[in-house]
Structure 1
Amino acid sequence: MVTIKNLEVKYGEKIALSIKSPITFEAGDRIGIIGSNGAGKSTLVKSILGLTNYNGNIHTNLKPEEMAAHMQENNYVDTMAVKYIIEALLNTKIKKNKVLQELISFFYFEECLNKKISALSGGQKQRLTIILVLIQDASLVFFDEVTSGLDFETRQQLMNKITEWYENKKVTICIVSHYYEELEKLANKILILDNGEVVDFGSKEQLFQKYCGKSTITIENTKRNEEVTKNFSKIIAPEHLIAISCLSESQELEIIKVLIGENINFKRSNNDIEIMYINAKARFNGELGGENCDEYEAI
């Protein structure tokens, strides 16, 4: 669907994005794009959409109208009722468009139609933009920080709705987010960026095994917990946690048995994207030893 190779984007003299080895987005992929601020996530989206200048190759069989995007900033006329904004942007009437009616109902947006934009909450504004994106029925859809600034419950509701809407549809979704729990539910592939470079790209399961093991067990980072687990294999984790890497089921059971015996609360995961990202980034930057991930391929 989309293949990117030898891509370089510059803002002045600064290289904002550099992709050397090819990466490919296939039909039906659910791709989570992660990285810290300035990693090149939004630049990548804008490059694929043709919204910024670049050198290199972005090959796709899609026409521009077959792509849709929810960007971080969306500005609407504040003096019109929401329903008129929708009808003007889409050049259709809500009463005559069954798919649009379905989307409005699907996102519980009926009560917002007669309001002005200024009267909408953050979550309602996001629902408006999502409706405008989904109605396009595009083959490739980008969501750039679609839930940024929203409370946990509203984020969960929006992501559940997006996931439900696209269920069993052969649509490729690329979602930029720093809320890792959202990507754990939605994404089947992860693209990790750091300072404009690709750290790694592949299936969520294979990347997790590559950087974390078969599973991870996380516990609170205390002196007692550190002492209890001193003989176990650790990987990098957020400061408040200790992350133990399990390479096999028997090893996992052994660790759990010890933690239960010591009355230590723990969490087991085989898809913790945050810990995977931390360790992938550390290895890429030479902080863990081992080889850098300069060469990668879509899985």
Structure 2
Amino acid sequence: MLTIDRLQVRYGNKTALLVDRPLEIGAGDRIGVIGSNGAGKTTLLKAVLGLVPYHGRIRTKLRPEDISVHMQQNHYVGTMPVKHIISAILNTDVKTDKKLRGLIDFFEFSGCMDKKYPALSGGQKQRLTIILVLYQDAPLTFFDEVTSGLDFETRQKLMEKMRAWYAGKESAVMIVSHYYDELERLADKLLILDHGRVAAFGKTDELFRRYCGRAVVTIPANEKNRALTAHIKTVAAPAHLLAFPCADETDEAHLASLFIRENIDYRRSGTDIEILYSNVLSGGGAL
């Protein structure tokens, strides 16, 4: 569907993005794009969309109209009801378009149709743009920080709606997000960028096994827990956690037995993207 190879974007003397090995995006892919501010996430989307000059190759059989995008900032006229904005942008009749009515109902947006854009909440504004984007049924869609600025509950509801909408569809999706929990719900592949370079790309479960092991067990990183586990191998983790790699069930059982005996709360995961991200950037591996 889309291949990105030897791609370089420069702003003056600074290399904002360098993709030095092919990135393949196929039908049905759900790719999460993560990295710190300035890592090159938005630059990558803009290059694919032809919005910034670049060197290298972006190969695709898709037409421009086969790619849709949800950018971070979206603004609409504030002097007319939202239903007229939707009709004008999509060039359709809201009342008679069954496909559009289905999207409006699916995203629980019917009660907002007579409101003006400035009167919408943050979550409602995001749902409006999502409806406009999804109506296109594009083979490839980019979402850039789709839930930025929303509260936790609104983010969760919106992500559940999007996950349900794309279930079973052959459309490919690339999702730029700072929220690891969103990517755990929506993505089965990860593209990790660091200072404009590709740090890792592949299926989430395969990357996790490579960098973290079969599973990781985490506990709070307090003084007592550090002393208790000083002899046990750790992998990179956020500062408030200690993370222990497990190569097999025996490793997990030993750790669980220790933490239960010591009355320490612990969490086991085989998909924790935050832990995976930490270990990719640290350059290490569990095994």
TM-score normalised per structure 2: 0.98
How is 1:197-236 mapped onto 2 (pairs within 5 angstroms)? 197-236=197-236
Q: CA RMSD in A?
A: 1.1
Aligned-pair distance for 1:185? 1.5
* Residues 2, 61 of structure 2: 8 Å contact kept: yes
Q: Are residues 1:171 and 2:171 paired?
A: yes
How is 1:197-276 mapped onto 2 (pairs within 5 angstroms)? 197-276=197-276
Aligned residue-pair number:
286
Report the more deviating stretch, 11-20 or 128-137: 11-20
Distance across 1 between alignment mates of 2:4 and 2:140: 15
How is 1:144-155 mapped onto 2 (pairs within 5 angstroms)? 144-155=144-155
* Residues 212, 285 of structure 2: 8 Å contact kept: no
Aligned-pair distance for 1:2? 0.6
One-letter identity of the residue aligned with 1:230: A
In the alignment, what sits opposite 1:110? 110
Unaligned runs of 5+ in 2: none
Distance across 1 between alignment mates of 2:12 and 2:157: 40
Distance across 2 between alignment mates of 1:200 and 1:7: 16
Q: Are residues 1:195 and 2:195 paired?
A: yes
Report the more deviating stretch, 6-15 or 255-264: 6-15
Aligned-pair distance for 1:75? 1.1
Distance across 1 between alignment mates of 2:14 and 2:75: 28
Structure 1 SS opposite 2:205: helix
The superposition leaves residues 206-260 of structure 1 with CA deviations (integer Å, 9 ceiling, x where unpaired) of 1001111110111111111111212211011111111111111111111100000
Structure 2 SS opposite 1:174: strand
Report the more deviating stretch, 46-55 or 81-90: 46-55
In the alignment, what sits opposite 1:94? 94
Q: Are residues 1:181 and 2:185 paired?
A: no
In the alignment, what sits opposite 1:295? none
* Residues 15, 196 of structure 2: 8 Å contact kept: yes
Distance across 2 between alignment mates of 1:6 and 1:204: 23
Structure 1 SS opposite 2:190: strand
In the alignment, what sits opposite 2:162? 162
One-letter identity of the residue aligned with 1:254: H
Distance across 2 between alignment mates of 1:212 and 1:104: 41
Distance across 1 between alignment mates of 2:52 and 2:79: 31
One-letter identity of the residue aligned with 1:235: V
* Residues 27, 172 of structure 2: 8 Å contact kept: yes
Aligned-pair distance for 1:51? 1.6
Distance across 2 between alignment mates of 1:289 and 1:160: 32
Distance across 2 between alignment mates of 1:61 and 1:164: 27
Distance across 2 between alignment mates of 1:11 and 1:101: 43
Distance across 1 between alignment mates of 2:97 and 2:225: 59
Distance across 2 between alignment mates of 1:140 and 1:18: 22
Distance across 2 between alignment mates of 1:237 and 1:230: 15
One-letter identity of the residue aligned with 1:195: H
One-letter identity of the residue aligned with 2:269: S
Distance across 2 between alignment mates of 1:217 and 1:165: 32
The percent of aligned pairs where both chains have the same amino acid is: 55
In the alignment, what sits opposite 1:277? 277
Aligned-pair distance for 1:289? 8.9
Which of structure 1's runs of 4+ aligned residues deviate more than 2 A? none
In the alignment, what sits opposite 1:140? 140
